[in-house]
Structure 1
Amino acid sequence: MIVKHLAEIVGTKDDIDTPTWSSRRFLLKQDQMGFSLHDTIIKEGTETYIWYKNHLEAVYCIEGEGEIEVVGGETYAIRPGMMYALSGHEKHFLRAKSQMRMVCVFNPPLTGREVHDEEGVYPLDAE
């Protein structure tokens, strides 16, 4: 059994901070669960271009408001209680009107070192 508390992750190597988001990584590839689990903060007033060409992601918003714009497609409002799943590797922009807190799940699982490259992509295995 794996049991963790957010306070054990904040400020450690599993707390990745970038100019637009912060990801507190609870479960990673090394945990052998078949997915990774993250508590992510999207910083207020930011826009991030993302393309998970190597991963599927599901996101559940628990705080804040913003939007996700699919490149060449629709824009969806994000607010607490909303979930979206990038089931088709959609290229998208994630915008935070206020600070958002999201629970994110990735398949295949992340290793923990990933940050978006110039294309908005996480590498397949960042070990």
Structure 2
Amino acid sequence: MIVRTLQEAEQSERRVVSDNWESTRMLLKQDNMGYSFHITTIYAGTETHIWYQNHFESVYCISGEGEIETLADGKVYPIRPGTLYNLDQHDEHLLRASSELKLACVFNPPLNGLEVHDENGVYPLEADAVA
């Protein structure tokens, strides 16, 4: 059984901070669950270009408000508590936070732990793992 608290994970290498967001990776590839699970905060007033070419992601909004715009068709979807969106087509998108967003995220295949977006908004398929 794997038991972790968000508080202890936030005090470890599992907390990854970038310009527009921070993500605490609660479950990673090394945990052998077949997916990774993250609690991610998107900072208020930011826009993040994301294009997970190597991963599928499901995102559930815990708190805050924002929107996601899919670049292929320009559709804009509001995000607020209780919203679930799924990037099932490797959708290139912009994620905008009008207030701080707290999100629960699941990735398949699982992340190793230290991934950050490259210049195209992509996470690499294999990145360095946390210790």
**Which residue of structure 2 aligns with residue 44 of structure 1?**
44
**Which residue of structure 2 aligns with residue 26 of structure 1?**
26
Per-residue deviation at 1:11?
2.9
Asked if 1:15 corresponds to 2:15, the answer is yes
User: C-alpha separation between the residues in 2 aligned to 1:10 and 1:27?
Assistant: 13
**TM-superposition CA deviations, 1:77-111 (whole Å, max 9, x none):** 00000000000000000000000000000000000
User: C-alpha separation between the residues in 2 aligned to 1:92 and 1:31?
Assistant: 29
Task: Please give the residue correspondences for 1:1-127 in structure 2 after superposition, counting only pairs within 5 Å.
Answer: 1-73=1-73, 74-127=75-128
Relative to the length of structure 1, the TM-score reads: 0.98
Per-residue deviation at 1:115?
0.1
Runs of 4+ in 1 over 3 A off after TM superposition: none
1:85 alignment partner AA:
N
**TM-superposition CA deviations, 1:52-71 (whole Å, max 9, x none):** 00000000001000000000
Q: Percent identity?
A: 56
Name the SS for the 1:30 alignment partner: helix
What residue ranges of structure 1 are gaps of 5+ in the alignment?
none
What residue ranges of structure 2 are gaps of 5+ in the alignment?
none
Name the SS for the 1:121 alignment partner: coil
Q: Give the number of equivalent residue pairs.
A: 127
Aligned-residue RMSD, C-alpha: 0.6
Per-residue deviation at 1:72?
2.8
User: C-alpha separation between the residues in 1 aligned to 2:62 and 2:115?
Assistant: 23
1:96 alignment partner AA:
A
User: C-alpha separation between the residues in 2 aligned to 1:58 and 1:24?
Assistant: 16
Relative to the length of structure 2, the TM-score reads: 0.95
2:110 alignment partner AA:
P
User: C-alpha separation between the residues in 2 aligned to 1:89 and 1:54?
Assistant: 8
